[in-house]
Structures are given as C-alpha cells and as structure tokens.
Structure 1
Amino acid sequence: MLTWLGSYHYLGSTAIIMCLLGYSTYVLLRAGIFAVPQIAYFCIGAYLSTILTVDHEVNFYVAIATGGLAAAACGATLGWLLRSVSGIYLAIATIAFGEVTRVIVRNLDVTGGPSGILGIPRAAQDWHLVLTLAVVIIACAVLAKSRYGVAMDALRQDQLVAEHLGIAARLMRIQLFALSGLIAGIAGGLFAHFRGFIIPNDFALPVLLSVLALVVVGGLYGFTGPLVGAVVVHTLPELFADLEEYREIMLGAMLAIIILFAPRGVSGLVESLVAEVRGRQRRARSAAVASAIHEPAAAETPSGDPRRARDDVRVPSQQVEPGPALAVRDVTKRFGGLAALSNVSFDIRKGEFLGLIGPNGSGKSTLINVVSGALEPTSGTLEAHGRRLSLGRPEKTADERIGRTFQGIRLFTDFTAIENVALGAYCRHQRWTGSGGAGYFAIWRREAAEVLELVRVPASMWSRDVTTLPYGIQRRIEIARALMGHPHLLMLDEPTAGMAEDETQEIFALVSEVARERDISVLAVEHDVPVMRTYCDRVVVLNFGQLIADGSPEVVLRDRTVVEAYLGQS
C-alpha cells in the first residue's frame, strides 16, 4: 500500500508507528496528565507479541491484540499506583518506569538479552499500519467530540471544578492510562512484526524524546496534532538527508520556534484561526438564538429538535424528597493541630435560603468544601434528603444534585461562555454523544442559552472567550453553570466578592428569584450583612470553626456573641 513511496517506504511506515505513539501520548496530555510511559508500553507490546509468535507460534492477530491488552493492563495498574502523583513528579515516575522496563528486557533470557530477538516473522503489512492509524484517528476524533472528550478538556483546565461537575477524575485517569497503553502496545507489536527484529535500544530515552517533539510540534491538545507532528518532525528532516549533521540543530530550532510562537503546535495554530472565523459566525447567530428561545416554531434544526435530543438523556425532575436538603452532623475538620471546623451541626430545609456568616478564618469556605466533597472531614456525617453523602468525593456530591460556585472565579478559559454553562449539565448526561452523533455542546446549547438568559447575560457575550468578559458577567456565568445541573442545593461561596453594592443586590435578588421558582435550597457565604438580612430565611454563624448562632437574621444579627465575634463590637 505504501510502495508508491519508493525509497521512502520504510520512512513512511516508521512515521506511522511514531504517529501511533504520538496518539498514545495525546490521550493523556489532552486530559492534563503529563505522564510519558509510552515507550514502556511500546516495549511490552513489541516483546510480548514477538515471544508469542516466535516461541509459541501464536496467530499474528492474537499476538498483537494480546500485546496491546497487556500494555493496557500495565497502564491501568500504573495509573492506579500513581493516582496521587501529578506534575513533574508524575513525569519523572513514568520516565523511570520506561527505563526500568527496558533494563528488565535487556537482562532476561526470554527477551534475548542485549541482542534482542531476530527472525521475527514480518507479518505486519502496510495496510495493517494504515488501518490501525485510521482507526485510532477516527476514535480520537469521536472522543474529542463526545462527553468523555469534553470531560478530558475540563480536567486539563481545572480538575477541582471538573470533579464538582460530576467528572470522576480518578477513574478517568486510570482509563486513560489504559487507553494509552493499548495504543502504544499495539504499535509495539506492529513495529516488531514490520521490521523483523527488536533490541532493547529501540525503546531507549531518545525514542521518547522524539515522540514528545512530535506531539509538541504537532499540537498538544488537538486530535490532528500527532499526525501533523509525525510529518513535520519525523518525515521532513529525512528529506534533507544531505544536511544530516545539522538534523539535531534543525529539530531544536523547530521546537524553540513552536514553543515561542505557537505553543499549541502547528495544528493548534490552524485550529485557532478556524475558531476565530467560526467565533465571528457564532456571535452573529447569538442574537437569533436568543430570540428563538421563546418561539416554539424555531426549535427545529436540521438535526432535529434540541429538546427531543435532551429527552434521550436522563433529566431529573425536582420532585419532593423526604428529609432536609442538607443535614450536617458533628462535622470536624482538622489540618494537623488546627481545628478548622469543630462539631458543626445544622440542617437546611427544602427551599430555604440559608446564610453562612462569620469573621475571616472562621471556617466558612472549609465547610463549603467539606459539603461539596473537595475536603474530607476528620469526623462527622453529611446527608442530603436522608441519603448519606460520599465524603471527599465531589463527583458523587454532584450526582446528588449539589451545585456550587467558588470564592474566586473558576471558569474554563478554553471554553466560551455558553460552553462553560453547558458543561454544568455533565452529571445529567449519561451518553457519550447525542442523537444523530451530535456533540456534547450541540445537545445542551439551547438549554444553556436559556439559563444564560435567566441570569441576564447578554446574548452578544455567549460565544465569547470568558477571559474577555466583565467580572460581574463571569460571576453570573458561574452561577448559570451551577444551575445547569438542576441542583436541589446551591452553595454560593462569596458570589459577589469585589462587586459594587448595586451589583450585589442584583445578584442576590436574581438567585432568590430563581431559587423560589425552582424550589432550590441555597447556602450562601457573604460578608454583606444587610444583604444577608434581606434575602436569607435563616442565618448560621461560625467563629473559630464552631457554630455560635442559628436562627432568623433579625435575632442572630442582634445576638451579643455574634456582635462581638463577627462585627467586632461589644
């Protein structure tokens, strides 16, 4: 199939192998997991498939599949073992894993020791390589458009927020390690059965550096990145064979230029230009979308009614459930010898607007983080409508329809305003894609537009980069994202911090109105006492991690203990 390349046939074939290794790296980097165990997977797939075909005369296809699955199993195990490691430490650990794997195969008799294995049947044909690469590219393209791919993008940008939207980061990490292993393991088997021999140095550190260069030049996050990188890094230098002594210099210069002027790689640069053109088109359509919200006849699109598409997924109703919306029982949270919370207990009734106040450092944000699952309490229990909450598991808390905003604005900067809001429905969407193969954002775009209109974000801002939007609008988008999950309980951690008085009043009036309409319980942290007095049905007060008052705003705000602790008066 690749014979038309003539003298470049071997080059083209090895470029495909390198491209597969690039995609094995891509599936981790897209989710923000800077791990590079691909060469170890590559080695495992190559040696295991070779031992099966040479020593045990196993069918070629069975051997390739076994090598890939074995590498995937190693990947899942590695992902689980390194589940608490991140950043540069994760990179170092996975590089070490690759070197340890190479040293092991170099010293085993069954792998041929330093001499490797010769006489491998060259069963891998050109069409095997091309077909495998095509399947991987199509799979990555579908993945990028799917619910799973959107979750990967969210994890890369802000893992904590992603988990609070229902994304199981720890499970996804193990799955992606396994997927990376599967791709690299199959690539290793094809490599061995294409070339006819393998030696331990085929899996040394320089190969990993070539793969990383390929991914960086092609683009870290775009699914076409490894393909573009394979052409630029692996193929183009070979076309200048007369300049062989300058190859490393050329590659280094190329990497420097890409990192300085196009940090998202060649494919990322192209995608940015395309996105800019499409963004202008979306902004031009935003006004039409806004006006169509109230026109039933306009709901039809070429791919069907968006509301019907949403019927294909599980959308919970706000039905009456027994028990309080939240029951906090004897919750204590210690950081070493410091008790940030000490035996805190209170309930939030269904539909109640509860204010949480106290001086700085009193434990308000810690309590919000404990309830949402960002922190695990030292002791105590939490219940929502009589169901025990999973402690320290924010994705499980999201499944219980508990939404939240953060003290500092935490929006996904690679998503537009409407995409940020649409991602709030992640915990409600149980399928990979929508009807007719519609992407995640296509399914939820209409409802996200309705929620943005509800919180009064102008339609002209829906398709804009969120980093270019005014501070107050970003706060509204964060609230809208929380509302997209159809929460029973909405927790707001200083939602108007840094806002003017009139903006603060407007935000709280808006939240109060929406909460009444949707029968949502609200737990709000706010330092503006007059606002608490106006909008809260009840107020609880923390001081040094202890609950010192619980009651109506009028009673609590006149309590001597509260006045002394919170207002600094006697």
Structure 2
Amino acid sequence: MNGAIQLALVGMTSGSLLALTALGIVIAYRGSGIINFSHGIVGTVAAFAYWELNAGLGLSPVLAVPGALLAAALCGYLTYRLAIQRMARTSALSRTIVSLIVLVVVQSGLTLRYGADERIVQSMFPTDPVSLFGIHLGQNRIITFLIATALVVLLTVCYGRTRFGLATSAQAENPIASAALGISPVRIATTNWVIGSVFAGIAGVLLAPIVGVQIVTLTHLIVPALAAALIGGLRSFPLTYLGALLIGVTQAEVTRYVATPGWADAVPFLLIVLVMVWRGAGDRIRSAIVERRPKVGAGQVRPLILLALVGGAIVLLTTVFGLPYVTAMTITCTYGIILLSSVVITGYTGQLSLSQFSFAGIGAVLTGLLLTGTGMPFLLAIPLSLVGTFVVGAVLGVPLLRTRGVNFAVATLGCAVAIQGVLLQNPAYSGAYTPLPNPLELFGWRIDSLAHPERWAVVCLVAFVLAGLVVANVRRGRVGRRMIAVRTNERAAESVGLNPWRVRLYAFALSAAIAALGGILVVFRQPTMVFERGFLAFDSILGLSYVVLGGIGYIAGPLLGGLGHPGGFISTLLDSDSATMPLWIALVGGVLSIWYLQVRPDGAAEGLGRHIHLPRPRRRQARAGTTTGTSTGTSTGTVISTAMGTGPAGRVPERVLEGEGLTVAFGGVVAVDDVSLRVGPGEVVGLIGPNGAGKTTLIDAITGATNPKSGTVTLDGRPIGSMRMYRRVHEGIGRSFQSLELFDDMTVADNLKASADARSSSVYLTDLVWPRPTAFTAGALAAVELFELGPDLDRLPTELPYGRRRLVGIARAVAAEPSVLCLDEPAAGLSSTESAELGTLLRRLADERGMGVLVVEHDMELVMRVCDRLIVMERGRVIADGTPAEVRRDPRVIAAYLGDETESQETEPTREREEVEQ
C-alpha cells in the first residue's frame, strides 16, 4: 500500500511540473486563440540555456535561471510577432501549422548545435530525502510541487481580478467588442505568449535535473501537457492543474503495475476520452468572427492529361531514373497517399487531425498479421486491411469527434501517442520484425522492392493515382457537398437536414483507410516488417505541415508535400554525404515555409492553379428558359418581379406545428418565458417584438437549434422536442437565419442541392467510385424559378449583393419543400419595393403550396399585409396574439412596440385604401 502511495506522491510532483507546461499552453491560447504546438521546444530552449549558463559558463542558478527564462520569453515573443501575428487574416489551421513548423525549425537548430546526446545538470534544490507520512521524497520534488501550486494560485488571482486578466478574458470572449473598448488584441496576445513561454521555461529548467537535458524528452512533453490543458477546457487554470496531477499520478501507477509497455503513454489519451464522454458534445457557440478557411479544389479530373502524366512517369521510372530517384518516387508517392488522407478530414471537413500516420501504421500492422497469420495473397490482404482500418477509425472517432477544432487536434495527437506506445512499438501486438513468408506478388508479377525497385515504384505511383481519384470522386459527389457544408457551418448544415457528426465520422474513418494504404506501402518496401519508424506521433505533425504547404484542399497538395518529405525528390536533389544535411534542409526549409504560408496560406497547389487555366465545365441550365451567367446589374426587386410569372408548384404535405409552454434560459437569463404558438398549413404567422424580445431564440427552440428548459414541440400532435435539428428538417420543418449562414465555399446551385438532396446513405459507398451528377429536384427547381436565381447558380454567395444572398438563404430553405417554413428577418437589407414583393412570394408559398410560414420581421408594413396572425413578444413573453387588426389596436402592443394609438389609427385607413386598390 505504501508503495502505491509513494508512487502517487511522486506522480503528483511530476504532474506539477507537467502542469507548468500545460498552464503555459492555456495562457497562450486564452490570449490568441491558437494552440502553441512549439510550446515544448520552448521549454527545451530554456533547459539548454540553463545548461550553457550553469555548466558552461559556471554561473550560479541565481543568475542562470533568469537567463534561461529570458531565452524562453524571447523565443515566445519572436514566434508570435514574426510568425503568428503576420498570419492574422489567415485560417486558424494555417496559424497552427506555423507553430508546428516553428517546432521543427527550433528542434533542427538545437540538434545541429547540441546533437542528440543527453546532458546532466545539477539540481538547484537540495535532493536529500525527507519523510512525509512515512513516505520518503526528495526535497527538490517537494519544492517544485510547492512552486507549481503557488504559481497556479497566482495565475488564478491575476487573470481573475487584474485589469490585464480581465482584458485577456474579454479578448477571448469577443475580440471585436474588446477592440471597441480600446483593448489591443496584438498587445494582449503577445504578452500572453511571452508569459506562457516563461511558464514553459520554468518547467524546462525544473525538469532538466530530473530527466536530463535532451531534445526529444522535453519536446515530447507537449503531448501530456496538451491533454491536461484540454481537461481544463483550455481556459481554467485550476482544472488544468488538477488534470496534470491526475495524469502524473496515473502514469506513475501504470508504469509500476502494468508490465505491458506503452500503456503509460496511453494514459493522457484515455483521460481525454473520459473527459469528452463526460462533457458530451457541448453547445455550439456563435462566433463573433467568421473564420477564414483554406480554399478547396473542385475535384475535377482531366483523364487525358492524367493518363499522359502517369504514362510519362512510368516510362521514366522503368527506363531513365536510377535507383536514388526511383526510391525518391516511391517515398513521394507512399507518403503522398498518407497526406491525401488529411485532405479528406482536414481539407474537406475542417477537422485538424494529428493521428493520420498512426492510422497508416495500423493498416500496415493489419496487413502484416494477415500475411503472416493466414498466408493470403498480398492483393487480398490490402482491401481487408483498409476495411479494418476504416472500422478502427470509426470506433475511435465516436469519442474523438465529440469535440471540435483545437480540442479535436489535441485528442487525435493523444490518440497517436497511445497507438504508437501500445501497438506500433510493441512487437507482441504488432508482429514487428517478422520476415514476410513469401515475396510480394500482384497477379503473379514480382514486385518486391529489393529485387525490382522500379516495379515497386510503379505500384506506389498507381496506388497514389487511385487514392487521388477516390478523394476527387468524394469531392465531386454528394458526400463532398455534405463535407464542405459541415466544414463551412455546422448549424446551417443541420438546418438543411445533414447530420454533421455522421459526416465527420465518415470522413475520419475514410481518411484512416486512405492513410492505411500509404502505411502498407511504406512498410512492405522491406522484407521484414518494422513499425517503429515512420509512424511516430510527431510524424503526423510534420506530415500535416507538408500537406498544408502543398495545399490542404487540393488533390495536388499531398503530391507537392510528398516531394518535400525526407527521402522525397527535393531531399534527393539536395542530398550529400553530410549527416547534418537533413537537419539543414528542415531548418532552412522551415523558415522558407513560414514565409511562404504568409504569402500563400492556401498552399502551392492553389498558387499553381492560378497559372493553369483549364476550361471550366458549363453547368446545364436549371430549366428551359432559365438563363445562366451573371447578373451584375439586376436588382433584387426586378428579379422577384420576373419570378411572379412562374406557375404554381406542387403542394407540400400539410402539417401543424405547435409549441406549448416553451421556456429557454441561458444561465440565469430567461430569453423565452412560457411561450405557446401554433402554425397551421397555408397560414402565415408573424412573430414581432423589439430587439431582445426572444424571437430568434423561440425559432431556435422550435427548430432544434436550442434545447428549451421546459415545454413541448409537436408536429401534427407528435412530440419532436427530443429530435435534433436535422431530424426535424426530415419531418418537414425548414428555416432561414437572420445572419444568412450560407455555405460560402459552395456555389448557389450547390447550396440549393445541399438542402434538396436525398439523404441516401448509399452515396457514402458509391461516390468513392462513381459520383453521379445530381440534377435539381422539383423543390430546388421551383425555388430557382420562384426567386429567379438561374443567373447566379455558378456564383459563390460572397460574389452576390447582400439582398441576393438573403434570397439565396430563403430559397435554400424552400428547396427542401418543408411543410412549415421558419424565416428569421427575411426582409432585412431589402428595399421597401423588394420587401413588398417578397411578402407576395411568402403568401404564394402559403396559398399555392400549403406551407405554414412563421416569420420574424421588423418590417411592420410587410407583416401587417402578409400575415394571417401576429404574435407579439416582449422580454421573452407573449403580450398579444391575434389578427393584424386586433394586434394593431392592442394597447399593450401600442405601448411596447407600435407607437402611440393616434399614429396607429391614422395609418389604418391608408392601409385599407391600399388593400382596396390591390
């Protein structure tokens, strides 16, 4: 028992040092919104600086420690000001990748300067053991624990009560509002990065006497530190500290009592999973800033050009290239396949995954076990291994995808470390170092790389082309449209009937299978299976850096990134007999890469695309008589007027939407208080009230975007309150948004198709090989004609005037042919003439198609003319419900919203004359 307690105390002291690194990550993230993946190397810089000053120059710790912390602070300052800040207008992905590249640059520089040998430094604190509750601990460990605890308390007080701490919290909560208050985001972010780097330096200096000064050991501390930061929600200092202690104690106990190697490294990942399961998916937060995402290609394939390039490459491999360049082609293609997997999960779906090389290793392990255990042919073992890795990816994705963004990146990095330690570096599980039973063959053709390296290179080239075609097919099909929709806006994706979690899970599993193909080809170049090299957790970090440089949203991006991979064409061209040449390539290439990403944040493939002009395929006209092209000079009013001449569309299924006693609260603030409403078929119900009355929140509760505290929502008497938004869409409830929330990365046509597409699951399989072009459904075609969007189908929403974009948002909701249509301020941004014509269209949707329409609107002329009933809200409560005439005369409405009664009575005869004239 005493042994377990002693291990727990030792683990707490180790966890306290881990907490210092984790706290530095949280500080930098709170100030800038970016996870500093180079944080671990900053601690390494401080440790080497301390060793130089103490052991090299003979300075006492009193002088050496401040010097080491100054080096850490300078490293953080330069990283943010020279690398991160200059990419403020780029995507968070690009900025995160820059921090990864900084890690590579600094690590290469330190290796060139100090090599890989470990250096020993003396502890600055006494190491004599003391007895604590009968347990013997070194004084240095107790002192470091007390220091870490004191710093946690100091951070909590400073960031909770000082002006700087409050300004940092305001900056993290809403950068736009904080800037309006005079808070400099650059100064706040820079200061926090410097403070966070100092904490990394403290951890490095305190750890140096315990684990020694070595580049790999201190750098890899980032993984458990990130896990602790995630437990703290990347915000709470006390929770981060407790998470680090928990990791330290658990790792100490597992190391002592679990004989199987690797499980201690898996502890952070397991804790991440437990935390995510406990917290759940979490609420979606409306961001104050619309984040810019990397551009994506269209997935177009030119068969003749592709055949010519592949044929030429095969000729070069078999007749011209020597062994070095044949090997370079092999490495470029195999690692290019692994990088292709990042295009699916990160480029198309927007999820930053740092476990792709680990999935490559899993695919190789499965293939090796099948070959050695069953003796099956290589050609049969490959697809079975890909399917197996797909299943593994899906299983791991269930807990991992309960989070998003940077949290997902941290979780996948922890997953990679766990896979590396438990499986890939454990021959008892992986079967490593086992010779292959037979030479590799395909259709009786010997392809083993030792005897026939050029044949193996051809196989790898063809495999890359096939994998690239699969990724291109996914992009062009309905699955790709779903992925881009989820990447762009998950809430809007749900509003058109998509299940974002299912789309992301499929993308994660598919990317795992693609990575597995590359891993198989990497391992089986040799006759003996080795999994320890090439699939390390940090290889995923380097690989992601390469593919972002190449272009994370383009098929050509992984190929360009593979050229720069160690052993690829670029390193082969620059190869020399010097053992330090790879380090110089990484150092110089990393610096150039940071500069290049600042110039072209979307990667080299996007830059090449600007100079290669291929004919763009023309979209078929939506219907005979509907024109295509652009409409630069057409006003919204003219377009709507033209649409009035179209014939009536089919009627939708008639359903009654009812909400009873709905109450929505955010913390202690009640936004909607015991509200009931009913929308019947063919009925237009207006929801009016002053700003902050709770109108949008009520629509969110009805459509499933917000969970009410109490109350029920029914459709034709059937409860739907427990359904997610996408399921309510399937039942016949559509909506638009006050803030538009269009899919800006897709054309107008694809926005409509995303809403109207059939929700078939079979496309997840068929789109891999044959993505059939999808035509407009009857509902989408009716929406195109009703709002006269034919001229804009091939344009992006960002290319349209604001009024046209708002019509696209309404048309997208109408395209799904809902029984009940909820519109949030549809006339905002329209002129009075356009607003009147929009009102006529809404009446047609109700009268001719039988839709129930619930409309939130501030345009009183519109709602008084169009609506059958009006519901008036004030401060979350309903103060009136009746016909427009009844509401107009209600004293409570007059006092709260419409103005004085005299003005109301004066305007009523005018309105009646206008109705007679119409």
TM-score, structure 2 as length reference: 0.54
Partner residue, 1:102: 420
Partner residue, 1:305: none
Tell me, yes or no, if structure 1 residue 217 matches structure 2 residue 534: no
Please state how far the C-alpha of 1:176 moved relative to its aligned partner. Answer: 1.7
Deviates more, 1:6-15 or 1:396-405: 6-15
- The separation in 1 between residues aligned to 2:771 and 2:474, in whole angstroms, is 12
- The separation in 1 between residues aligned to 2:779 and 2:592, in whole angstroms, is 44
Equivalent position amino acid for 1:209 in 2: I
Q: Which blocks of at least 5 consecutive residues in structure 1 are unaligned?
A: 295-315
Partner residue, 2:440: 123
- The separation in 2 between residues aligned to 1:52 and 1:564, in whole angstroms, is 78
- The separation in 2 between residues aligned to 1:91 and 1:211, in whole angstroms, is 14
Alignment RMSD (CA, Å): 3.3
CA change 1:273–1:292 in 2 (3 A) is: farther
Partner residue, 1:47: 365
CA change 1:402–1:106 in 2 (3 A) is: closer
1:241 to 575, 578, 602: 575
SS in 2 for 1:339: strand
Partner residue, 1:6: 322
Please state how far the C-alpha of 1:366 moved relative to its aligned partner. Answer: 0.9
Question: 1:412-441: CA deviations, max 9, x gaps?
Answer: 22223333233331256777389x96754x
* Superposed counterparts of 1:387-466, under 5 Å: 387-389=718-720, 391=722, 393-427=724-758, 432=763, 439-440=772-773, 443-444=775-776, 451-457=783-789, 459-466=790-797
Please state how far the C-alpha of 1:358 moved relative to its aligned partner. Answer: 1.9
SS in 2 for 1:200: coil
* Superposed counterparts of 1:527-546, under 5 Å: 527-546=858-877
* Superposed counterparts of 1:300-339, under 5 Å: 318=651, 320-321=653-654, 324-339=655-670
2:815 to 481, 484, 505: 484
Question: 1:254-292: CA deviations, max 9, x gaps?
Answer: 53354233333233334456689639x77xx97xx7763
Question: 1:460-500: CA deviations, max 9, x gaps?
Answer: 44433321321111111111111111121111101122433
- Indicate conservation of the 8 Å contact 1:537/1:552, yes or no: yes
Partner residue, 1:255: 593
Please state how far the C-alpha of 1:569 moved relative to its aligned partner. Answer: 6.1
- The separation in 2 between residues aligned to 1:320 and 1:372, in whole angstroms, is 18
Higher relative contact order, chain-length normalized (CA < 8 Å, sep 6+): 1
- The separation in 2 between residues aligned to 1:515 and 1:541, in whole angstroms, is 21
SS in 2 for 1:278: coil
Please state how far the C-alpha of 1:378 moved relative to its aligned partner. Answer: 2.5
- The separation in 2 between residues aligned to 1:537 and 1:106, in whole angstroms, is 67
CA change 1:66–1:79 in 2 (3 A) is: same
- The separation in 2 between residues aligned to 1:221 and 1:169, in whole angstroms, is 19
Please state how far the C-alpha of 1:44 moved relative to its aligned partner. Answer: 2.1
- The separation in 2 between residues aligned to 1:419 and 1:245, in whole angstroms, is 46
- Indicate conservation of the 8 Å contact 2:756/2:777, yes or no: no
Tell me, yes or no, if structure 1 residue 18 matches structure 2 residue 350: no
- Indicate conservation of the 8 Å contact 2:652/2:818, yes or no: no
SS in 2 for 1:236: helix
2:801 to 470, 488, 501: 470
In percent, how many aligned pairs have the same letter? Answer: 30
Tell me, yes or no, if structure 1 residue 355 matches structure 2 residue 681: no
Number of equivalenced pairs? 537
- Indicate conservation of the 8 Å contact 2:827/2:859, yes or no: no
Partner residue, 2:391: 73
- The separation in 2 between residues aligned to 1:178 and 1:291, in whole angstroms, is 42
CA change 1:415–1:334 in 2 (3 A) is: same
- The separation in 2 between residues aligned to 1:219 and 1:553, in whole angstroms, is 56
Partner residue, 1:168: 499
Equivalent position amino acid for 2:435 in 1: G
- The separation in 1 between residues aligned to 2:731 and 2:782, in whole angstroms, is 23
- The separation in 1 between residues aligned to 2:786 and 2:542, in whole angstroms, is 50
2:625 to 282, 292, 316: 292
SS in 1 for 2:357: helix
Please state how far the C-alpha of 1:51 moved relative to its aligned partner. Answer: 4.2
Partner residue, 1:302: none
Question: 1:160-182: CA deviations, max 9, x gaps?
Answer: 11111111111112222211222
Equivalent position amino acid for 1:92 in 2: V
Please state how far the C-alpha of 1:446 moved relative to its aligned partner. Answer: 9.5
Equivalent position amino acid for 1:251 in 2: G
- Indicate conservation of the 8 Å contact 1:111/1:117, yes or no: no
Partner residue, 1:384: 715
- The separation in 2 between residues aligned to 1:412 and 1:249, in whole angstroms, is 39
Please state how far the C-alpha of 1:52 moved relative to its aligned partner. Answer: 4.6
CA change 1:543–1:41 in 2 (3 A) is: same
Partner residue, 2:405: 87
SS in 1 for 2:401: coil
Question: 1:147-205: CA deviations, max 9, x gaps?
Answer: 11111111111111111111111111222221122222333233222223314243224
Please state how far the C-alpha of 1:90 moved relative to its aligned partner. Answer: 0.9
CA change 1:430–1:48 in 2 (3 A) is: closer
- The separation in 2 between residues aligned to 1:430 and 1:206, in whole angstroms, is 35
Q: Which blocks of at least 5 consecutive residues in structure 2 are unaligned?
A: 1-313, 442-446, 448-455, 628-648, 902-918
Partner residue, 1:301: none
Equivalent position amino acid for 2:353 in 1: A
SS in 1 for 2:871: strand
- Indicate conservation of the 8 Å contact 1:166/1:427, yes or no: no
SS in 2 for 1:368: helix
CA change 1:421–1:56 in 2 (3 A) is: closer
Please state how far the C-alpha of 1:210 moved relative to its aligned partner. Answer: 3.4
- The separation in 1 between residues aligned to 2:899 and 2:779, in whole angstroms, is 46
Partner residue, 1:342: 673
TM-score, structure 1 as length reference: 0.84
Partner residue, 2:256: none
